Every structure is written in structure tokens, then in C-alpha cells.
Amino acid sequence: MAWEGLNRRKFPRVNFPCMVIVKSTHGEEDILLTHTENIGTGGLCVTLKKSFKMFTPVVLELDLLDAGKHIRCNGKVCWSIRRKMDDKKKPLFYDIGIEFLDLGHYDHQRIVESVTRLAKKASYSFNE
């Protein structure tokens, strides 16, 4: 069965490998440093060595690499998919979709500006 999450997204995403700290607030506290696979105005996708159950609450710290302060907000895991691996010796990785919750207006605008700028750049490169 094919995963159709891409077609059901509320918010468009752009590739943007910025640094993210994901802190689990459910059960045992984990702090995981990773990077984004992609980001949108409503959430992001990260790659982790650990799976999270749907609806798990997390705390995010995001560095947009725009010389501004790190964005800190709560999030909710919306999906988790294990990547396929051919090499049995490598650890399994999971793509985790996280929705932003309680994102402040200023931080939301920073994300909108970054996503818009990157989408325009990607569109320009694609159409060249």
C-alpha cells in the first residue's frame, strides 16, 4: 500500500536542512539533535534513529540559519515512517512529521518568509 501523506498535506514543504532539537515530553525524556528533511509553515519532517508514536507531544528548537534566535515551540507527531534499508549493519532511520503548535506570530512569519524564499529559489532553479 502506498503512503499518500504527501497528497494530504495542509501546507506545502520545501527542502531546507536546518538544525533541529526534538525533545520528547512523553514518558522518558529524550533530546535528539537532527536536521530537517523539509519544512513548511505548519510543520516539518525530521530524520531520527528512533520512532515516535502518532500524537506524541514534543518540544522543538529550530535554527533557521537566518541570524535570528532559535525558534522554540511545542509540536505534535503526525506520522512516522521507517526508511527502507538494504544494509543490515546500518541503524534504522525514521522520517517523522511534526506539526507546529503554539508557534508565536513573529516566529511563524520567519518560517513563512524562509519557506517562500526557498520555494521561489527552487522554482527558479527548476524552470531554468
What CATH code would you report for 5-127?
2.40.10.220
Domain ranges of the chain: 5-127
What pTM does this model have?
0.78
Q: List, in sequence order, every residue forming a beta bridge with 45; answer none if it has no partner.
A: 38, 97
Tens digit of each residue's pLDDT (9 = 90 or more) over 86-102? 656 666 889 999 999 99
Across the chain, the runs of DSSP E, i.e. the strands, are 13-14, 19-24, 31-40, 43-48, 57-63, 71-82, 94-101
According to DSSP, the β-strands at 31-40 and 19-24 are antiparallel
Tens digit of each residue's pLDDT (9 = 90 or more) over 33-75? 888 888 988 999 998 888 889 999 999 999 888 878 999 999 9
